[in-house]
């Protein structure tokens, strides 16, 4: 507890904001109650929205490269506080130290990207069909961006959205997961340090509101929030998407995944085993991009399964703060119960389960550690097609590469996918229009651990949104097409002559 207090003070979180509130925060490491955070009401959230609207009106006129300077300063704060914030991610979300710090590194990387972007918000010039005319497009900020995030990437997802949204000239209101408010408060404190050094930014440019779905719903339903960027379960997206659409708002949805790796008979199995291990048991199977399904060629499935079982047996399960740990805890009891239910269903549907039991119960009676499970399935049954947010890896086999791709695509989700193969034809087919239907399709690397330079997101029930790199910034802007007539005539498009004959 003392070390948690030290982290709060190192990160600039005021003690009074984490004591006496109505939202208890438990560390998944040992189940200890580490804070009681004050929640915002829906009314306070609406007030924050009004303040954000005013802030955005001032911010949109600040030149974009100057806006980039604020993000550069944020990147500096994150560099300086990487170890402390990474540790708080471990304490609050249960990630091992390397992954907690890796998450902060991702924030730093997107800040660097956004600083460069602040000088590259390009529009096209387009050849006009009319003489003496110029046509072009300009990009303007959308307004206020509401960011709703999940517990499993408690800070990185905020930064993907906010670094881009701010350089694009928007204001941001963040509703973090009710399971991880502390890392949000710490991030906000670091942002405010950057703001202070920046000097003349409008007040309330980026705010955080704490609470459950009612607070999220205030963002979802407000016509003053131009874009709702929501990350979480498909259940949440099914509610948020139509509600935002009903008021003709924009939404950017980043929802569940059910990510598969195809392992061909030509695969380098050493690489495949390493890629699968990180993807399946990293973050205790609680990444949206976690590897959940293996589709292996019939000639290699037995050897691959045996090697994976061996690798699983030697993966250290333990406190995420201890050196050598590879598998930390599940977030809470509900996650444990969901895992047990899925394993029971898998067994009923013909699966052979190895692992999956509770671990370290004596040492951590109030926390939920598990042995990651491997389940050999006779086929892709209902339970396999459902995302269970826990370390369960279903292994299935295939005879032809076409059938493997069909099985890979035959799930409702479409986030990440990979193939391990040394056959060029298979690799190219996998990435082609008749290959993987996912937003991410990798060759000889696993499904998780994406770089920020690419656009991140997925299709079907994953929601269709794209965040982070490439041209994902366009989601945070509105496009205007401008046509300028510098001639002395007024020709109409499509050659129309109107009242001239």
Catalytic residues: 254
- Which of 212, 350, 379, 412: binder of ligand NAD (CB under 6 A)? 212
**472 makes contact with ligand NAD (CB under 6 A):** no
160 is an interface residue for ligand NAD by CB under 6 A: no
Which of 220, 308, 367, 427 is the binder for ligand NAD (CB under 6 A)? 220
User: Shortest gap between Cβ of 316 and ligand NAD (angstroms)?
Assistant: 25
Among 51, 152, 380, 429, the residue binding ligand NAD under the rule CB under 6 A is 152
Given the complex with ligand NAD, which of 268 and 332 has the nearer CB atom?
332
- Footprint (CB under 6 A) of ligand NAD, residues 323-342: none
Nearer to ligand NAD, 309 or 386 (CB): 386
- For 478, phi then psi, to 5°, come to -110, 150
Instruction: Please report whether residue 30 would count as binding ligand NAD according to CB under 6 A.
Output: no
Task: Kindly identify the residues of this chain, within the stretch 238-257, that bind ligand NAD according to CB under 6 A.
Answer: 239-240, 254-257
Distance CA(202)–CA(180), nearest Å, equals 27
Q: Quick one: tokens of 135? A: 């046509």
Q: Which residues have a Cβ under 8 Å from the Cβ of 495 and sit 6 or more positions away? A: none
Verify binding: residue 387, ligand NAD, rule CB under 6 A: yes
Q: Which residue has the tokens 């035959």?
A: 410
One character per residue 257-296, x = contact with ligand NAD (rule: CB under 6 A): x------------------------------x--------
| Total chain residues near ligand NAD (CB under 6 A) | 29
The answer to whether the CB of 100 falls within 8 A of the CB of 320 is: yes
Residue 66 C-beta: closest distance to ligand NAD, Å? 30
Per CB under 6 A, the list member of 182, 462, 469, 473 interacting with ligand NAD is: 462
| Residues in the chain, overall count | 501
Query: Shortest Cβ distance from residue 164 to ligand NAD (Å)?
Result: 14
Q: Which helix (H) or strand (E) holds 206?
A: strand 206-208
The residue ranges of DSSP E strands in 68-163, in sequence order, are 125-126, 133-141, 144-148
Neighbour tally for 82: CB within 10 Å: 18
Distance CA 85, CA 79 (A): 10
The CB density around residue 335, as the number of other CB atoms within 10 Å, is 21
175/371 with CB nearer ligand NAD: 175
Q: Considering only residues 176-195, where is the footprint of ligand NAD by CB under 6 A?
A: 177-178
Q: Which is nearer to ligand NAD, 320 or 463 (CB)?
A: 463
Q: Check binding of 164 to ligand NAD (CB under 6 A).
A: no
- Rounded Cα gap, residues 309 and 471, in angstroms: 41
CB 116 to ligand NAD: min, Å: 23
Residue range at the interface with ligand NAD (CB under 6 A); choices 31-39, 181-189, 215-223, 339-347: 215-223
Part of the chain binding ligand NAD (CB under 6 A), chosen from 113-121, 171-179, 346-354, 362-370: 171-179
CA–CA separation, 342 and 388 (whole Å):
7
Contact 385, 408 (CB under 8 A): no
| Pick 207 or 231: Cβ nearer ligand NAD | 231
Question: How many angstroms separate the CA atoms of 356 and 367, rounded?
Answer: 15
Closer to ligand NAD by Cβ: residue 420 or 456:
456
Inter-helix orientation angle 64-80/82-93, to 10°: 70
Evaluated on CA atoms 423, 428, 434, 438, the torsion sign reads positive
Residues contacting 238, CB < 8 A, separation 6+: none
Is residue 92 a contact residue for ligand NAD (CB under 6 A)?
no
Strands 392-398 and 291-297: parallel
Angle between helices 156-167 and 181-198 (to 10 degrees): 30
d(CA 467, CA 106): 13
CB count in 10 Å sphere of residue 185: 23
Which of residues 8, 312, 389, 476 is near ligand NAD by CB under 6 A? 389
Q: Does 415 bind ligand NAD (CB under 6 A)?
A: yes
Interaction of residue 218 with ligand NAD, rule CB under 6 A: no
Place of tokens 């005539």: 489
**Single residue of 217, 376, 426, 461 touching ligand NAD by CB under 6 A:** 217
Report the distance separating Cα 304 and Cα 310, nearest Å.
10
Closest distance to ligand NAD from the beta carbon of 395 (Å): 21
Residues near ligand NAD, by CB under 6 A? 148-153, 175, 177-178, 212-213, 216-217, 220, 231-233, 236, 239-240, 254-257, 288, 387, 389, 415, 462
């Amino acid at each position: 507890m003392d070390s948690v207090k030290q982290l709060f003070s190192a990160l600039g979180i005021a003690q009074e904001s984490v004591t006496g509130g109505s939202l208890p925060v438990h560390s998944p490491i040992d189940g200890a109650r580490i804070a009681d955070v004050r929640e915002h009401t829906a009314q306070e959230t609406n007030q924050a929205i009004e303040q954000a609207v005013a802030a955005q009106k001032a911010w949109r006129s600040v030149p974009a490269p100057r806006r980039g300077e604020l993000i550069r300063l944020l990147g500096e704060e994150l560099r300086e506080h990487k170890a402390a914030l990474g540790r708080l991610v471990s304490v609050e979300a249960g990630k091992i130290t390397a992954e907690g710090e890796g998450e902060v590194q991702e924030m730093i990387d997107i800040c660097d990207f956004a600083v460069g972007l602040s000088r590259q918000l390009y529009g096209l010039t387009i050849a006009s069909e009319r003489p003496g005319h110029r046509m072009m497009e300009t990009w303007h900020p959308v307004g206020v961006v509401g960011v709703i995030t999940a517990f499993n990437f408690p800070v990185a997802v905020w930064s993907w959205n906010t670094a881009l949204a701010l350089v694009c000239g928007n204001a941001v209101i963040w509703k973090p997961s009710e399971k991880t408010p502390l890392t949000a408060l710490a991030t906000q404190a670091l942002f405010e340090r950057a703001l202070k050094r920046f000097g003349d930014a409008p007040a309330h440019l980026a705010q955080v509101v704490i609470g459950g779905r009612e607070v999220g719903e205030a963002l979802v339903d407000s016509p003053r929030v131009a874009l709702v960027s929501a990350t979480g379960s498909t259940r949440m997206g099914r509610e948020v998407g139509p509600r935002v659409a009903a008021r003709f708002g924009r939404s950017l949805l980043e929802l569940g995944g059910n990510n598969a790796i195809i392992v061909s008979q030509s695969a380098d199995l050493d690489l495949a085993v390493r890629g699968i291990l990180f993807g399946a048991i990293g973050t205790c199977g609680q990444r949206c991009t976690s590897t959940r399904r293996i589709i292996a060629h019939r000639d290699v499935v037995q050897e691959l399964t045996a090697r994976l079982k061996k690798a699983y047996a030697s993966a250290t399960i333990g406190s995420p703060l201890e050196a050598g740990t590879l598998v930390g805890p599940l977030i809470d009891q509900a996650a444990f119960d969901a895992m047990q239910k899925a394993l029971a269903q898998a067994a009923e549907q013909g699966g052979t389960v190895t692992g999956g039991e509770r671990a370290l119960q004596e040492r951590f009676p109030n926390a939920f550690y598990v042995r990651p499970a491997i389940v050999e399935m006779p086929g892709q049954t209902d339970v396999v097609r459902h995302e269970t947010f826990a370390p369960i890896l279903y292994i299935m086999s295939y005879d032809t590469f076409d059938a493997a791709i069909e099985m890979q695509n035959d799930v409702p989700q479409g986030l990440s996918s990979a193939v391990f193969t040394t056959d060029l034809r298979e690799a190219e087919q996998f990435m082609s229009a008749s290959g993987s239907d996912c937003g991410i399709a990798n060759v000889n690397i696993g499904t998780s651990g994406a770089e920020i330079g690419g656009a991140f997101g997925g299709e079907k029930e994953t929601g269709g949104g794209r965040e982070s790199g490439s041209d994902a910034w366009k989601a945070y802007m509105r496009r205007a097409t401008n046509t300028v007539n510098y001639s002395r005539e007024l020709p109409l498009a499509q050659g129309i002559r109107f009242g001239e004959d």
